[in-house]
Structure 1
Protein backbone atom coordinates (compact mmCIF):
# COMPACT_ATOMS: atom_id res chain seq x y z
CA UNK A 1 0.00 0.00 0.00
CA UNK A 2 1.23 3.51 -0.85
CA UNK A 3 0.46 6.01 1.95
CA UNK A 4 -1.05 9.46 1.50
CA UNK A 5 0.98 10.96 4.36
CA UNK A 6 4.61 12.12 4.01
CA UNK A 7 7.26 10.63 6.28
CA UNK A 8 7.93 14.02 7.91
CA UNK A 9 4.32 14.03 9.13
CA UNK A 10 4.42 10.45 10.36
CA UNK A 11 4.00 10.32 14.13
CA UNK A 12 2.73 7.65 16.52
CA UNK A 13 -0.89 8.68 15.98
CA UNK A 14 -0.55 8.55 12.19
CA UNK A 15 1.15 5.15 12.39
CA UNK A 16 -1.64 3.81 14.60
CA UNK A 17 -4.20 4.96 12.03
CA UNK A 18 -2.19 3.44 9.16
CA UNK A 19 -1.90 0.13 10.97
CA UNK A 20 -5.63 0.13 11.68
CA UNK A 21 -6.62 0.89 8.09
CA UNK A 22 -3.90 -1.06 6.29
CA UNK A 23 -3.23 -4.70 5.63
CA UNK A 24 0.27 -6.07 5.29
CA UNK A 25 2.83 -3.27 4.81
CA UNK A 26 2.80 0.45 4.10
CA UNK A 27 5.54 1.57 1.69
CA UNK A 28 7.26 4.95 1.59
CA UNK A 29 9.33 5.34 -1.58
CA UNK A 30 12.44 7.51 -2.12
CA UNK A 31 13.28 8.02 1.56
CA UNK A 32 16.94 9.03 1.87
CA UNK A 33 19.22 7.97 4.74
CA UNK A 34 19.20 11.57 5.96
CA UNK A 35 15.40 11.81 5.91
CA UNK A 36 15.14 8.55 7.83
CA UNK A 37 17.68 9.66 10.46
CA UNK A 38 15.94 13.02 10.89
CA UNK A 39 12.57 11.35 11.26
CA UNK A 40 13.89 8.91 13.89
CA UNK A 41 15.63 11.70 15.83
CA UNK A 42 12.40 13.73 15.85
CA UNK A 43 10.33 10.71 16.94
CA UNK A 44 12.59 8.71 19.30
CA UNK A 45 9.61 7.11 21.02
CA UNK A 46 8.72 5.29 17.80
CA UNK A 47 11.87 3.19 17.60
CA UNK A 48 11.34 1.67 21.04
CA UNK A 49 7.56 1.36 20.82
CA UNK A 50 6.41 -2.23 21.20
CA UNK A 51 3.76 -1.92 18.48
CA UNK A 52 5.98 -0.29 15.87
CA UNK A 53 8.15 -2.25 13.43
CA UNK A 54 9.73 -1.00 10.26
CA UNK A 55 12.13 -1.99 7.48
CA UNK A 56 14.48 0.15 5.44
CA UNK A 57 16.58 -0.82 2.42
CA UNK A 58 19.36 1.64 1.58
CA UNK A 59 19.61 0.24 -1.96
CA UNK A 60 16.00 1.07 -2.87
CA UNK A 61 15.55 3.88 -0.29
CA UNK A 62 12.25 2.31 0.64
CA UNK A 63 10.79 2.55 4.14
CA UNK A 64 8.21 -0.07 5.08
CA UNK A 65 5.91 0.22 8.08
CA UNK A 66 4.94 -3.30 9.12
CA UNK A 67 1.20 -3.69 9.65
CA UNK A 68 -0.93 -6.72 10.42
CA UNK A 69 -0.24 -9.66 8.06
CA UNK A 70 -3.07 -11.88 6.90
CA UNK A 71 -3.19 -15.65 7.46
CA UNK A 72 -2.54 -16.03 3.71
CA UNK A 73 0.64 -13.95 3.96
CA UNK A 74 1.78 -16.03 6.94
CA UNK A 75 1.13 -19.35 5.18
CA UNK A 76 4.53 -19.02 3.47
CA UNK A 77 6.26 -18.53 6.81
CA UNK A 78 4.59 -21.65 8.22
CA UNK A 79 5.39 -23.74 5.14
CA UNK A 80 9.03 -22.67 5.02
CA UNK A 81 9.94 -23.05 8.71
CA UNK A 82 8.07 -26.35 9.09
CA UNK A 83 9.70 -27.84 5.99
CA UNK A 84 13.22 -26.76 6.89
CA UNK A 85 13.21 -27.58 10.57
CA UNK A 86 11.25 -30.80 10.01
CA UNK A 87 13.97 -31.98 7.61
CA UNK A 88 16.72 -31.27 10.13
CA UNK A 89 14.85 -33.03 12.93
CA UNK A 90 14.33 -36.05 10.69
CA UNK A 91 18.06 -36.18 9.87
CA UNK A 92 19.71 -35.50 13.23
CA UNK A 93 17.01 -35.28 15.90
CA UNK A 94 15.50 -32.34 17.73
CA UNK A 95 18.38 -31.38 20.04
CA UNK A 96 21.04 -31.52 17.33
CA UNK A 97 18.79 -29.61 14.91
CA UNK A 98 18.38 -26.83 17.47
CA UNK A 99 22.17 -26.62 17.83
CA UNK A 100 22.81 -26.43 14.09
CA UNK A 101 20.24 -23.93 12.85
CA UNK A 102 17.68 -21.37 13.91
CA UNK A 103 14.49 -21.09 11.92
CA UNK A 104 12.43 -18.04 12.67
CA UNK A 105 10.43 -15.06 11.47
CA UNK A 106 10.27 -11.33 12.10
CA UNK A 107 13.76 -10.96 13.61
CA UNK A 108 15.49 -7.66 12.78
CA UNK A 109 18.82 -7.80 10.94
CA UNK A 110 21.18 -4.84 10.57
CA UNK A 111 24.83 -4.19 9.66
CA UNK A 112 24.61 -4.75 5.89
CA UNK A 113 27.73 -4.12 3.81
CA UNK A 114 27.77 -0.80 1.97
CA UNK A 115 25.28 0.79 4.36
CA UNK A 116 27.51 3.65 5.51
CA UNK A 117 24.87 5.19 7.74
CA UNK A 118 23.74 1.93 9.32
CA UNK A 119 20.14 2.77 8.52
CA UNK A 120 19.11 -0.48 6.87
CA UNK A 121 17.00 -2.86 8.90
CA UNK A 122 15.26 -5.97 7.55
CA UNK A 123 12.68 -8.28 9.08
CA UNK A 124 12.39 -11.38 6.87
CA UNK A 125 9.11 -13.27 6.84
CA UNK A 126 11.08 -16.46 7.54
CA UNK A 127 14.75 -17.42 7.67
CA UNK A 128 17.33 -20.11 8.40
CA UNK A 129 20.41 -18.99 10.30
CA UNK A 130 23.49 -21.05 11.09
CA UNK A 131 24.98 -21.08 14.56
CA UNK A 132 27.49 -18.24 15.00
CA UNK A 133 26.55 -16.32 11.85
CA UNK A 134 25.39 -12.70 11.63
CA UNK A 135 22.89 -13.18 8.80
CA UNK A 136 20.53 -15.94 7.63
CA UNK A 137 21.76 -18.46 5.09
CA UNK A 138 18.27 -18.65 3.55
CA UNK A 139 15.71 -15.85 3.57
CA UNK A 140 12.04 -16.15 2.70
CA UNK A 141 9.95 -13.07 1.81
CA UNK A 142 6.31 -12.67 0.80
CA UNK A 143 5.13 -9.64 -1.14
CA UNK A 144 1.49 -8.64 -1.55
CA UNK A 145 0.77 -6.41 -4.56
CA UNK A 146 4.44 -5.43 -4.68
CA UNK A 147 6.38 -4.96 -7.87
CA UNK A 148 8.71 -7.87 -8.60
CA UNK A 149 11.57 -5.38 -9.09
CA UNK A 150 11.09 -4.12 -5.53
CA UNK A 151 11.25 -7.69 -4.23
CA UNK A 152 14.39 -8.31 -6.30
CA UNK A 153 16.03 -5.24 -4.74
CA UNK A 154 15.40 -6.80 -1.33
CA UNK A 155 16.90 -10.05 -2.63
CA UNK A 156 20.00 -8.13 -3.78
CA UNK A 157 20.38 -6.60 -0.34
CA UNK A 158 20.50 -10.04 1.26
CA UNK A 159 22.61 -11.78 -1.37
CA UNK A 160 25.16 -9.07 -2.18
CA UNK A 161 25.50 -7.20 1.12
CA UNK A 162 25.92 -9.90 3.78
CA UNK A 163 29.46 -11.04 2.99
CA UNK A 164 28.19 -14.15 1.24
CA UNK A 165 26.37 -15.42 4.34
CA UNK A 166 22.93 -15.33 2.69
CA UNK A 167 22.95 -17.88 -0.13
CA UNK A 168 19.28 -18.16 -1.14
CA UNK A 169 16.34 -15.77 -1.16
CA UNK A 170 12.90 -17.30 -1.74
CA UNK A 171 10.20 -14.84 -2.79
CA UNK A 172 6.48 -15.47 -3.02
CA UNK A 173 4.62 -12.74 -4.88
CA UNK A 174 0.85 -12.47 -4.33
CA UNK A 175 -1.38 -10.58 -6.74
CA UNK A 176 -5.07 -9.98 -6.03
CA UNK A 177 -7.57 -8.54 -8.50
CA UNK A 178 -11.22 -7.65 -8.05
CA UNK A 179 -13.61 -7.79 -11.00
CA UNK A 180 -16.25 -5.08 -11.05
CA UNK A 181 -19.83 -6.32 -10.89
CA UNK A 182 -21.82 -5.80 -14.10
CA UNK A 183 -24.59 -4.28 -11.97
CA UNK A 184 -22.16 -2.07 -10.09
CA UNK A 185 -19.98 0.05 -12.37
CA UNK A 186 -18.73 2.09 -9.41
CA UNK A 187 -17.46 -0.85 -7.40
CA UNK A 188 -14.44 1.09 -6.19
CA UNK A 189 -16.57 3.65 -4.36
CA UNK A 190 -17.19 3.59 -0.64
CA UNK A 191 -19.93 0.99 0.12
CA UNK A 192 -21.50 3.40 2.60
CA UNK A 193 -21.78 6.27 0.15
CA UNK A 194 -24.96 7.48 -1.54
CA UNK A 195 -23.24 7.16 -4.92
CA UNK A 196 -22.75 3.47 -4.30
CA UNK A 197 -26.40 2.99 -3.35
CA UNK A 198 -27.60 4.84 -6.45
CA UNK A 199 -25.30 2.82 -8.70
CA UNK A 200 -26.52 -0.55 -7.46
CA UNK A 201 -30.19 0.34 -7.66
CA UNK A 202 -32.85 -1.37 -5.57
CA UNK A 203 -32.82 -4.82 -7.06
CA UNK A 204 -29.14 -5.47 -7.80
CA UNK A 205 -26.90 -8.17 -6.45
CA UNK A 206 -25.77 -5.93 -3.57
CA UNK A 207 -29.25 -5.38 -2.07
CA UNK A 208 -28.30 -7.59 0.89
CA UNK A 209 -25.21 -5.51 1.53
CA UNK A 210 -27.17 -2.25 1.31
CA UNK A 211 -29.77 -3.58 3.72
CA UNK A 212 -27.06 -4.64 6.15
CA UNK A 213 -25.39 -1.21 6.02
CA UNK A 214 -28.70 0.56 6.62
CA UNK A 215 -29.45 -1.69 9.59
CA UNK A 216 -26.30 -0.65 11.50
CA UNK A 217 -27.09 1.19 14.76
CA UNK A 218 -25.77 1.59 18.30
CA UNK A 219 -26.67 -2.00 19.19
CA UNK A 220 -24.77 -3.55 16.27
CA UNK A 221 -21.87 -5.68 17.46
CA UNK A 222 -18.71 -6.01 15.39
CA UNK A 223 -18.60 -9.79 15.65
CA UNK A 224 -22.19 -10.13 14.42
CA UNK A 225 -21.58 -7.64 11.60
CA UNK A 226 -18.47 -9.54 10.48
CA UNK A 227 -20.41 -12.81 10.47
CA UNK A 228 -23.11 -11.26 8.29
CA UNK A 229 -20.47 -9.90 5.89
CA UNK A 230 -18.97 -13.37 5.63
CA UNK A 231 -22.39 -14.82 4.82
CA UNK A 232 -22.99 -12.19 2.12
CA UNK A 233 -19.53 -12.92 0.74
CA UNK A 234 -20.29 -16.64 0.63
CA UNK A 235 -23.39 -15.95 -1.47
CA UNK A 236 -21.52 -13.46 -3.70
CA UNK A 237 -23.68 -10.56 -2.52
CA UNK A 238 -20.88 -8.15 -1.60
CA UNK A 239 -20.08 -5.33 -4.00
CA UNK A 240 -16.39 -6.01 -3.41
CA UNK A 241 -15.67 -9.62 -2.34
CA UNK A 242 -13.57 -10.12 0.77
CA UNK A 243 -11.01 -11.97 -1.34
CA UNK A 244 -10.49 -11.29 -5.02
CA UNK A 245 -8.94 -13.46 -7.69
CA UNK A 246 -5.65 -14.55 -6.16
CA UNK A 247 -2.45 -15.42 -7.99
CA UNK A 248 0.81 -16.50 -6.37
CA UNK A 249 4.22 -17.09 -7.93
CA UNK A 250 7.44 -18.28 -6.34
CA UNK A 251 10.97 -17.15 -7.21
CA UNK A 252 14.35 -18.31 -5.91
CA UNK A 253 17.47 -16.11 -6.25
CA UNK A 254 21.19 -16.66 -5.71
CA UNK A 255 24.20 -14.37 -6.07
CA UNK A 256 26.40 -14.59 -9.14
CA UNK A 257 29.94 -15.87 -8.61
CA UNK A 258 31.38 -12.34 -8.70
CA UNK A 259 28.73 -11.07 -6.22
CA UNK A 260 27.90 -8.15 -8.50
CA UNK A 261 24.36 -9.25 -9.33
CA UNK A 262 21.81 -11.96 -8.63
CA UNK A 263 20.33 -14.72 -10.75
CA UNK A 264 16.86 -16.24 -10.72
CA UNK A 265 17.50 -19.97 -10.36
CA UNK A 266 13.89 -21.12 -10.07
CA UNK A 267 10.40 -19.78 -10.65
CA UNK A 268 6.91 -21.20 -10.97
CA UNK A 269 3.24 -20.38 -10.49
CA UNK A 270 1.62 -21.60 -7.27
CA UNK A 271 -1.92 -20.25 -7.65
CA UNK A 272 -3.88 -21.00 -9.63
CA UNK A 273 -2.15 -24.40 -9.63
CA UNK A 274 -0.71 -25.37 -13.02
CA UNK A 275 -2.50 -28.27 -14.77
CA UNK A 276 -1.12 -31.69 -13.89
CA UNK A 277 -0.02 -32.30 -17.48
CA UNK A 278 1.63 -28.88 -17.90
CA UNK A 279 5.11 -30.08 -17.00
CA UNK A 280 5.39 -27.37 -14.35
CA UNK A 281 7.71 -28.30 -11.46
CA UNK A 282 6.12 -29.76 -8.37
CA UNK A 283 9.06 -29.18 -6.01
CA UNK A 284 12.38 -27.47 -5.56
CA UNK A 285 15.30 -28.49 -3.37
CA UNK A 286 18.16 -27.00 -1.40
CA UNK A 287 20.98 -29.36 -0.37
CA UNK A 288 22.94 -29.50 2.86
CA UNK A 289 26.00 -28.37 0.91
CA UNK A 290 24.01 -25.31 -0.18
CA UNK A 291 23.34 -24.60 3.51
CA UNK A 292 26.64 -25.53 5.16
CA UNK A 293 29.15 -25.28 2.30
CA UNK A 294 32.18 -27.45 3.12
CA UNK A 295 31.15 -27.83 6.77
CA UNK A 296 28.28 -30.29 6.38
CA UNK A 297 27.67 -32.03 9.75
CA UNK A 298 28.96 -35.58 9.92
CA UNK A 299 25.46 -37.01 10.37
CA UNK A 300 24.45 -35.61 6.95
CA UNK A 301 25.52 -35.97 3.35
CA UNK A 302 26.26 -32.92 1.19
CA UNK A 303 23.62 -34.10 -1.28
CA UNK A 304 20.88 -34.57 1.35
CA UNK A 305 18.02 -32.29 0.20
CA UNK A 306 15.48 -30.07 1.85
CA UNK A 307 12.50 -30.64 -0.43
CA UNK A 308 9.84 -27.97 -0.78
CA UNK A 309 6.59 -29.39 -2.16
CA UNK A 310 4.81 -26.78 -4.26
CA UNK A 311 1.39 -28.51 -4.17
CA UNK A 312 1.66 -28.50 -0.36
CA UNK A 313 2.40 -24.76 -0.40
CA UNK A 314 -0.58 -24.19 -2.68
CA UNK A 315 -2.84 -26.19 -0.35
CA UNK A 316 -1.62 -24.19 2.67
CA UNK A 317 -2.38 -20.92 0.90
CA UNK A 318 -5.87 -22.12 -0.03
CA UNK A 319 -6.41 -23.38 3.52
CA UNK A 320 -5.56 -19.91 4.85
CA UNK A 321 -8.18 -18.09 2.76
CA UNK A 322 -11.14 -18.51 5.17
CA UNK A 323 -9.02 -16.99 7.93
CA UNK A 324 -8.08 -14.08 5.69
CA UNK A 325 -11.74 -13.58 4.75
CA UNK A 326 -12.73 -13.44 8.43
CA UNK A 327 -9.90 -11.04 9.21
CA UNK A 328 -11.05 -8.74 6.41
CA UNK A 329 -14.70 -9.06 7.42
CA UNK A 330 -13.80 -7.74 10.87
CA UNK A 331 -11.81 -4.85 9.39
CA UNK A 332 -14.61 -3.98 6.97
CA UNK A 333 -17.17 -4.22 9.76
CA UNK A 334 -15.15 -1.78 11.85
CA UNK A 335 -15.04 0.70 8.95
CA UNK A 336 -18.82 0.41 8.48
CA UNK A 337 -19.43 1.03 12.17
CA UNK A 338 -17.20 4.10 12.04
CA UNK A 339 -18.96 5.36 8.90
CA UNK A 340 -22.31 4.97 10.68
CA UNK A 341 -20.97 6.93 13.66
CA UNK A 342 -21.55 4.14 16.15
CA UNK A 343 -18.01 2.83 16.68
CA UNK A 344 -16.73 3.14 20.23
CA UNK A 345 -12.95 3.33 20.51
CA UNK A 346 -11.74 1.13 23.34
CA UNK A 347 -9.19 2.38 25.86
CA UNK A 348 -5.62 1.21 25.56
CA UNK A 349 -4.28 -0.86 28.45
CA UNK A 350 -2.48 2.21 29.85
CA UNK A 351 -5.62 4.35 29.57
CA UNK A 352 -7.71 1.67 31.24
CA UNK A 353 -5.15 1.36 34.03
CA UNK A 354 -5.15 5.13 34.61
CA UNK A 355 -8.95 5.19 34.57
CA UNK A 356 -9.11 2.48 37.28
CA UNK A 357 -6.46 4.29 39.32
CA UNK A 358 -8.25 7.65 39.10
CA UNK A 359 -11.54 6.03 40.07
CA UNK A 360 -10.04 4.30 43.07
Structure 2
Protein backbone atom coordinates (compact mmCIF):
# COMPACT_ATOMS: atom_id res chain seq x y z
CA UNK A 1 0.00 0.00 0.00
CA UNK A 2 1.51 3.37 -0.97
CA UNK A 3 2.61 5.64 1.85
CA UNK A 4 2.15 9.40 1.94
CA UNK A 5 5.77 10.05 0.97
CA UNK A 6 5.49 7.47 -1.82
CA UNK A 7 2.70 9.63 -3.30
CA UNK A 8 4.06 13.12 -2.59
CA UNK A 9 4.93 13.56 -6.28
CA UNK A 10 1.22 13.85 -7.11
CA UNK A 11 0.63 17.34 -5.65
CA UNK A 12 4.12 18.32 -6.87
CA UNK A 13 3.30 17.63 -10.53
CA UNK A 14 -0.13 19.26 -10.29
CA UNK A 15 1.40 22.40 -8.73
CA UNK A 16 4.14 22.56 -11.38
CA UNK A 17 1.59 22.30 -14.18
CA UNK A 18 -0.32 25.18 -12.54
CA UNK A 19 2.91 27.22 -12.22
CA UNK A 20 3.65 26.72 -15.93
CA UNK A 21 0.21 28.14 -16.70
CA UNK A 22 0.33 31.21 -14.44
CA UNK A 23 3.87 32.01 -15.61
CA UNK A 24 2.82 31.82 -19.28
CA UNK A 25 4.92 28.76 -20.18
CA UNK A 26 1.75 26.93 -21.24
CA UNK A 27 -1.71 28.21 -22.13
CA UNK A 28 -4.95 27.22 -20.42
CA UNK A 29 -5.74 25.03 -23.45
CA UNK A 30 -2.35 23.31 -23.13
CA UNK A 31 -2.96 22.84 -19.39
CA UNK A 32 -6.14 20.90 -20.19
CA UNK A 33 -4.41 19.01 -23.04
CA UNK A 34 -1.90 17.48 -20.59
CA UNK A 35 -3.62 14.82 -18.51
CA UNK A 36 -2.15 13.65 -15.21
CA UNK A 37 -3.12 10.15 -14.05
CA UNK A 38 -2.11 8.05 -11.06
CA UNK A 39 -1.92 4.24 -11.00
CA UNK A 40 -3.47 3.90 -14.46
CA UNK A 41 -3.00 0.54 -16.18
CA UNK A 42 -1.18 0.87 -19.50
CA UNK A 43 -0.89 -2.00 -22.00
CA UNK A 44 2.13 -2.09 -24.30
CA UNK A 45 0.96 -2.90 -27.83
CA UNK A 46 4.08 -3.32 -29.90
CA UNK A 47 7.80 -3.07 -29.52
CA UNK A 48 10.05 -5.28 -27.42
CA UNK A 49 7.64 -5.36 -24.46
CA UNK A 50 4.45 -6.00 -26.41
CA UNK A 51 1.85 -7.47 -24.08
CA UNK A 52 3.44 -5.99 -20.95
CA UNK A 53 1.14 -4.22 -18.52
CA UNK A 54 2.39 -1.44 -16.24
CA UNK A 55 0.90 1.01 -13.74
CA UNK A 56 3.20 3.98 -13.20
CA UNK A 57 2.92 5.91 -9.98
CA UNK A 58 2.10 8.97 -12.09
CA UNK A 59 1.92 9.72 -15.78
CA UNK A 60 1.60 12.81 -17.91
CA UNK A 61 -0.26 12.02 -21.09
CA UNK A 62 -0.95 14.35 -23.99
CA UNK A 63 -4.66 14.19 -24.79
CA UNK A 64 -5.75 10.97 -26.48
CA UNK A 65 -2.25 9.51 -26.85
CA UNK A 66 -2.10 5.81 -25.91
CA UNK A 67 1.19 6.04 -24.03
CA UNK A 68 2.26 8.77 -21.61
CA UNK A 69 5.05 11.18 -22.47
CA UNK A 70 6.40 11.34 -18.89
CA UNK A 71 6.16 8.78 -16.09
CA UNK A 72 7.15 8.78 -12.44
CA UNK A 73 8.08 5.62 -10.58
CA UNK A 74 8.30 6.09 -6.82
CA UNK A 75 9.74 3.57 -4.42
CA UNK A 76 9.38 3.26 -0.67
CA UNK A 77 9.74 -0.49 -0.43
CA UNK A 78 10.92 -1.12 -4.01
CA UNK A 79 14.65 -1.28 -4.65
CA UNK A 80 16.37 1.25 -6.91
CA UNK A 81 17.38 -1.51 -9.39
CA UNK A 82 13.71 -2.52 -9.66
CA UNK A 83 12.70 1.10 -10.28
CA UNK A 84 15.38 1.32 -12.99
CA UNK A 85 13.99 -1.85 -14.59
CA UNK A 86 10.60 -0.13 -14.67
CA UNK A 87 12.21 2.94 -16.24
CA UNK A 88 13.79 0.78 -18.96
CA UNK A 89 10.47 -0.88 -19.71
CA UNK A 90 8.84 2.52 -20.14
CA UNK A 91 11.55 4.21 -22.20
CA UNK A 92 12.51 1.23 -24.38
CA UNK A 93 9.03 -0.29 -24.58
CA UNK A 94 7.43 3.08 -25.24
CA UNK A 95 8.84 3.20 -28.77
CA UNK A 96 9.82 6.86 -28.46
CA UNK A 97 6.43 7.97 -27.12
CA UNK A 98 7.54 7.88 -23.47
CA UNK A 99 10.14 10.65 -23.45
CA UNK A 100 11.10 10.94 -19.78
CA UNK A 101 11.09 8.77 -16.67
CA UNK A 102 11.55 10.18 -13.18
CA UNK A 103 12.56 7.82 -10.39
CA UNK A 104 11.93 8.83 -6.79
CA UNK A 105 13.44 6.59 -4.14
CA UNK A 106 12.70 6.94 -0.43
CA UNK A 107 14.68 5.00 2.17
CA UNK A 108 14.26 4.97 5.92
CA UNK A 109 17.63 4.98 7.64
CA UNK A 110 18.14 1.94 9.87
CA UNK A 111 16.96 2.29 13.47
CA UNK A 112 15.95 5.95 13.02
CA UNK A 113 12.92 7.98 12.07
CA UNK A 114 14.92 9.67 9.29
CA UNK A 115 14.26 9.23 5.57
CA UNK A 116 16.62 9.78 2.65
CA UNK A 117 15.18 10.75 -0.73
CA UNK A 118 16.69 10.80 -4.20
CA UNK A 119 15.51 11.73 -7.69
CA UNK A 120 16.86 10.38 -10.98
CA UNK A 121 15.81 11.59 -14.43
CA UNK A 122 16.16 9.47 -17.56
CA UNK A 123 15.34 10.60 -21.09
CA UNK A 124 15.94 9.17 -24.55
CA UNK A 125 19.19 9.72 -26.41
CA UNK A 126 19.37 10.25 -30.19
CA UNK A 127 19.21 6.48 -30.72
CA UNK A 128 16.07 6.11 -28.61
CA UNK A 129 17.91 4.55 -25.68
CA UNK A 130 17.62 5.62 -22.02
CA UNK A 131 20.21 8.08 -20.79
CA UNK A 132 20.70 9.17 -17.18
CA UNK A 133 20.44 12.96 -17.10
CA UNK A 134 20.00 14.02 -13.50
CA UNK A 135 20.64 12.69 -10.00
CA UNK A 136 19.52 14.93 -7.13
CA UNK A 137 19.34 14.41 -3.39
CA UNK A 138 15.96 15.42 -2.00
CA UNK A 139 17.01 14.55 1.56
CA UNK A 140 19.42 15.36 2.98
CA UNK A 141 18.64 18.79 1.65
CA UNK A 142 21.47 20.98 0.34
CA UNK A 143 22.06 24.50 1.66
CA UNK A 144 18.99 26.77 1.43
CA UNK A 145 20.44 28.79 -1.47
CA UNK A 146 21.18 25.65 -3.51
CA UNK A 147 17.85 24.05 -2.56
CA UNK A 148 15.87 27.10 -3.69
CA UNK A 149 17.50 27.00 -7.13
CA UNK A 150 17.28 23.26 -7.82
CA UNK A 151 15.11 22.37 -10.79
CA UNK A 152 14.41 19.37 -12.93
CA UNK A 153 14.07 20.57 -16.52
CA UNK A 154 12.08 18.87 -19.25
CA UNK A 155 11.60 20.25 -22.74
CA UNK A 156 8.23 21.01 -24.24
CA UNK A 157 8.80 18.07 -26.63
CA UNK A 158 9.48 15.71 -23.72
CA UNK A 159 6.26 16.76 -21.99
CA UNK A 160 3.98 17.13 -25.04
CA UNK A 161 5.55 14.29 -27.05
CA UNK A 162 4.45 14.34 -30.67
CA UNK A 163 1.78 16.92 -29.84
CA UNK A 164 3.79 20.12 -29.41
CA UNK A 165 1.27 22.84 -30.31
CA UNK A 166 1.90 24.68 -33.60
CA UNK A 167 4.04 27.77 -33.15
CA UNK A 168 5.57 26.50 -29.91
CA UNK A 169 9.30 25.85 -29.57
CA UNK A 170 9.83 22.14 -28.78
CA UNK A 171 13.05 22.98 -26.89
CA UNK A 172 11.36 25.40 -24.46
CA UNK A 173 12.14 24.41 -20.89
CA UNK A 174 9.42 23.41 -18.44
CA UNK A 175 10.86 23.43 -14.90
CA UNK A 176 9.91 21.29 -11.93
CA UNK A 177 10.99 22.85 -8.62
CA UNK A 178 12.81 20.31 -6.48
CA UNK A 179 12.25 22.50 -3.44
CA UNK A 180 8.48 22.22 -3.89
CA UNK A 181 8.84 18.42 -4.08
CA UNK A 182 11.00 18.60 -0.96
CA UNK A 183 8.26 20.53 0.85
CA UNK A 184 5.59 18.01 -0.20
CA UNK A 185 7.83 15.16 0.98
CA UNK A 186 8.58 16.88 4.29
CA UNK A 187 4.84 17.34 4.94
CA UNK A 188 4.15 13.71 4.04
CA UNK A 189 6.91 12.45 6.33
CA UNK A 190 5.59 14.53 9.22
CA UNK A 191 2.17 12.87 8.82
CA UNK A 192 3.96 9.50 8.95
CA UNK A 193 5.84 10.41 12.14
CA UNK A 194 9.14 10.62 10.24
CA UNK A 195 11.65 13.36 9.44
CA UNK A 196 14.02 14.12 6.55
CA UNK A 197 17.57 12.79 6.86
8 Å Cα contact 1:127-1:137 kept in structure 2 = yes
Change (3 A) 1:280 1:253: farther
Q: TM-score, normalised by structure 2?
A: 0.84
Which of these two proteins has the greater Rg computed from alpha carbons? 1
- Aligned counterpart, 1:114: 48
> Alpha-carbon deviations, 1:73-122, whole Å to 9, x = none?
111122123313542465312x5521x22112111101253345x2x221
Q: TM-score, normalised by structure 1?
A: 0.48
SS of structure 2 residue aligned to 1:313: helix
* Aligned-residue offset at 1:298: 3.8
Question: Whose relative contact order is higher, 1 or 2, with alpha carbons under 8 Å and at least 6 apart?
Answer: 2
Picking from 106, 121, 144, the partner of 1:252 is 121
Give the strand-richer structure, 1 or 2: 2
Matches within 5 A, 1:152-167: 152-167=84-99
Matches within 5 A, 1:121-140: 121-140=53-72
Give the helix-richer structure, 1 or 2: 1
Stretches of structure 1 lacking an aligned partner (at least 5 in a row): 1-66, 180-240, 327-360
Stretches of structure 2 lacking an aligned partner (at least 5 in a row): none
Matches within 5 A, 1:214-233: none
Matches within 5 A, 1:1-360: 67=1, 69-88=2-21, 90=24, 91-93=26-28, 95-98=29-32, 100-112=33-45, 113-115=47-49, 118=51, 120-179=52-111, 244-259=113-128, 261-276=129-144, 282-292=150-160, 295-298=163-166, 300-325=168-193
SS of structure 2 residue aligned to 1:114: coil
Distance (whole Å) between structure 2 residues aligned to residue 145 and residue 247 of structure 1: 13
8 Å Cα contact 1:81-1:127 kept in structure 2 = no
Change (3 A) 1:82 1:162: same
Distance (whole Å) between structure 2 residues aligned to residue 290 and residue 273 of structure 1: 27
